[in-house]
Structure 1
Amino acid sequence: MTTDEGRDFDPESPEEREIGREMVDQSVGLGSVAAHLYRGEMDRVTTWRQRLDETINWVVTILAAIIVYAFSAQGRDEIILAGIVVITVFLGVEARRYQDYDVFRARARMLQQNLFANALDPSLGVEHRTWRRDLSNDYRHPTTKVPFAEALARRLRRVYLPLITLLIASWLFKVTALSTDSWESTAAVGTVPGTVIGVVVALYYVAVVLITVWPRDRQAKGEFEDREYGEWKRNE
């Protein structure tokens, strides 16, 4: 056994952390493997992003159909409440999908930050000293990086809170401005008084807003959370 084969592998050692420099300077084979790995991760990121977009498309289509029907001559305000329930179910599904999406996005960002960025400009070093070990552990034992509550809040903030607000505003408008009876009687559903329905809707909306704005440490791996604007295409 040679000395190189027998020595302990330390992914935190300077020469191992600087794999980005080696990729473009020496090891063509390693660079090829890394390129294929990154391409595969980006393909999975794209696939999961498309799944998120498909869910949003369904939600927007259903919401539009509900509002059109609710404000038609035969429409009833209960259909809007049913729409809120349906969209809440879609929100839960999309939050789970976002957790899976972030697994592959986090891997892609780890490679971008520590491998490719370092290959382009080795003078700045790597972003994470233990990135190779962390990435290796994640390939051996994949785990979600984003808690369900954070995934829920992020989807609410980006898409679902405005849609839910639109539905609730439509319901309020229909049971008040478009009704000749009192809102309590118009909002009633079967034997459930309108006051109870109103309280449930109000509590639901407060809960949704709290989930959206509740302060929490960010776990999602994002590129644009802290925006810095500036020109990078400068003319020399």
Structure 2
Amino acid sequence: MVDEPPDESDQASEPRLGSEITGQSTEMVSILGDAYRGELDRETTWRSRLDQTTTWGVTVVAAILTWAFSSGDNPHYIIIVGMLAVSLFLSIEARRYRDYDIYRSRVRLFQQNLLADALEPSEGLKHEDWRGKLSRDYRTPTLKVSISEALANRLRRIYLPLLAVLLVAWLFRITAFAPNEEPLTTAAIAAVPGVVVVALIALYYITAIVIVLWPRDREAKGEFEEGDPEEWK
């Protein structure tokens, strides 16, 4: 009896990972399980680093506002120092967010294509070439989120409200705390005229708003946002 040659269509089609796991490969289960847990742990670690930066930012803002309004003799520019401090925390958190997104993207690939497909195979894979994409990302890890998108994300979620609080506090400080002086006079810092100070602060806030509102394609991969970045489609 002559064995029939294998069907070429079967050879051409890539086997489903679910059938590989259930049929034969316990080693594959172990490897993928360890990989998923490792990526999830890294994601959690970077998430906690983001939270730490946010906590420091809120703490510094609270301390500066408390001191600025504790006495009328305290200079108003301490609130501007608070704006600069918040900007520093924003830059740190934006860099951390880019690293966080690397591991978040990998975790989502596992969840969307391995776990979801194992639970309900009839729905099909979210990304047909997800193993190839994940393999390439392991070989050559790259940052997937631009610095402008990272800044926009952290401004929108955390730092723009903090900066808004500081702006309102500063405006109140140069007006209500000095009712007998012109606000532009009160806003002066040493030899820097008040007009220049106000103009610089206005430019700073306009820049922050432009960063948030500037239209761009989303690259960050999140589980609660519509759509996925092109790289993972």
Could you tell me the TM-score, scaled by structure 1's length? 0.87
Report the alpha carbon displacement of residue 186 of structure 1 after superposing the two structures with TM. 0.7
Runs of 4 or more above 4 Å deviation:
none
The equivalent of 1:230 in structure 2 is: none
1:160-179 to 2 correspondences below 5 Å: 160-179=159-178
Contact 1:24–1:119, Cα closer than 8 Å, also in 2: no
Q: Secondary structure at the match of 1:76?
A: coil
The equivalent of 2:45 in structure 1 is: 47
1:112-127 to 2 correspondences below 5 Å: 112-127=111-126
Counterpart-to-counterpart distance in 1, 2:18 and 2:112:
10
1:1-12 to 2 correspondences below 5 Å: none
The equivalent of 1:85 in structure 2 is: 84
Q: Is 1:218 aligned to 2:222, yes or no? A: no
The equivalent of 1:28 in structure 2 is: 26
Counterpart-to-counterpart distance in 2, 1:67 and 1:157:
22
Counterpart-to-counterpart distance in 1, 2:184 and 2:131:
62
1:99-110 to 2 correspondences below 5 Å: 99-110=98-109
Q: In structure 1, what residue type is equivalent to 2:144?
A: K
Report the alpha carbon displacement of residue 21 of structure 1 after superposing the two structures with TM. 3.8
1:9-65 CA-partner distances (Å, limit 9, x unpaired): xxx9431xx213432444222111111110000000000000000000100100000
1:175-214 to 2 correspondences below 5 Å: 175-179=174-178, 180-214=180-214
Structure 1: gaps spanning 5 or more residues = 1-11, 228-236
RMSD after superposition = 1.4
Q: Is 1:146 aligned to 2:128, yes or no? A: no
How many corresponding residue pairs? 214
Structure possessing the higher relative contact order (Cα contacts under 8 Å, 6 or more residues apart): 1
Q: Secondary structure at the match of 1:224?
A: coil
The equivalent of 1:5 in structure 2 is: none
The share of aligned pairs that are identical, in percent, is 50
Contact 1:70–1:76, Cα closer than 8 Å, also in 2: yes
Contact 1:186–1:194, Cα closer than 8 Å, also in 2: yes
Counterpart-to-counterpart distance in 1, 2:79 and 2:13:
60
Could you tell me the TM-score, scaled by structure 2's length? 0.88
Q: Secondary structure at the match of 2:205?
A: helix
Counterpart-to-counterpart distance in 1, 2:102 and 2:13:
26
Q: In structure 2, what residue type is equivalent to 1:66?
A: I
Contact 1:24–1:31, Cα closer than 8 Å, also in 2: no
Report the alpha carbon displacement of residue 226 of structure 1 after superposing the two structures with TM. 2.9
1:100-158 CA-partner distances (Å, limit 9, x unpaired): 00000000101111111111111111111111111001101000111110000000000
